[in-house]
């Protein structure tokens, strides 16, 4: 086993903060909320509505951080770096406080910057959105260009949509391959991207260059 055993009724906590990227949170939600016995909760500085980076999507946090002191699985979504930086003050102390109790602490996209800020990735391999991968090195960890990176109980995924692959992989590690395969078939995850444009290695060079110039934020 890669991870310690989950309790029979694990709490899966998905973090929200103003300006998060919605698919970063919902991909892992749609997979990990189907872990057997799991109670899933969206958690934020305060319970209530939290609006995403685009401004048109609002998810409701069911609990404030102080109401979820012992989550078993934590997922931190990413967002544009300025939103992540603004979330630091609220999110980092909670990540530190719950760390002794988690079986897995995970992130998607730039969510790993918050894990790193909390000191959880010190000396570890980790990943993030391709546009900020090198920035991870300045935070005391080793950036790895892989879709999902596991180091100890810390699991980091690449940009946005990588949270779905991460969620299924975690489901397999935590509850067995059969459970993960059921979830994958239920969400009919047999992806057929219309273009070979999903990574800087495969996308047309001019598109990669365009995004490098724009930075994170379309």
Rounded to 10 degrees, the C-alpha dihedral 85/90/91/94 comes to: 150
Distances (CA, A) of 95 to 45, 67, 210: 12, 13, 34
Work out whether 44 is an interface residue with a copy of itself (CB under 8 A). Answer: no
Among 93, 134, 137, 185, binds a copy of itself (CB under 8 A): 185
156 to 175, contacts with a copy of itself by CB under 8 A? 158-162, 164-165, 168-169, 172
Active site residue 141: no
Q: Are strands 104-108 and 154-157 parallel, antiparallel or unpaired?
A: parallel
By CB under 8 A, tell whether 180 contacts a copy of itself.
yes
- Residues between 191 and 210 that touch a copy of itself (CB under 8 A): 191-195, 197-200, 202-204, 207-208, 210
Q: How far is CA 59 from the centre of its chain?
A: 16
176 binds a copy of itself (CB under 8 A): no
Phi/psi for 59 (5° steps) reads -105, 150
How many chain residues interact with a copy of itself (CB under 8 A)?
66
By CB under 8 A, what part of segment 6-35 binds a copy of itself?
Answer: 21-23, 26-27, 29-30, 33-34
141 binds a copy of itself (CB under 8 A): no
Q: Is 135 in the site for a copy of itself (CB under 8 A)?
A: no
Active site residues: 109
Q: Which residues bind a copy of itself (CB under 8 A)?
A: 21-23, 26-27, 29-30, 33-34, 39-42, 49, 54, 56-60, 62, 109, 129-130, 147-148, 158-162, 164-165, 168-169, 172, 177-178, 180-195, 197-200, 202-204, 207-208, 210-211, 218
């Amino acid at each position: 086993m890669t991870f310690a055993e989950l309790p029979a009724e694990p709490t899966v906590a998905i973090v929200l903060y103003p300006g998060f990227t919605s698919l970063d949170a919902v991909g892992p939600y749609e997979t990990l909320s189907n872990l057997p016995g799991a109670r899933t909760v969206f958690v934020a500085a305060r319970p209530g509505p939290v609006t995403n980076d685009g401004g048109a999507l609002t998810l409701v946090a069911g609990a404030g951080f102080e109401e979820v002191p012992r989550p078993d699985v934590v997922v931190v979504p990413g967002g544009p770096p300025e939103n992540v930086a603004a979330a630091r003050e609220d999110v980092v102390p909670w990540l530190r406080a719950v760390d002794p109790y988690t079986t897995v602490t995970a992130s998607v996209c730039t969510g790993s910057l918050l894990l790193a800020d909390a000191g959880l990735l010190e000396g570890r391999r980790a990943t993030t959105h391709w546009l900020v991968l090198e920035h991870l090195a300045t935070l005391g960890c080793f950036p790895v260009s892989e879709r999902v990176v596991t180091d100890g109980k810390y699991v980091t995924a690449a940009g946005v949509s990588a949270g779905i692959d991460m969620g299924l992989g975690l489901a397999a590690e935590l509850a067995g391959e059969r459970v993960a395969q059921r979830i994958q078939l239920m969400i009919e995850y047999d992806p057929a991207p219309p273009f070979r444009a999903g990574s800087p290695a495969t996308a047309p060079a001019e598109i990669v260059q365009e995004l490098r110039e724009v930075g994170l934020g379309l």
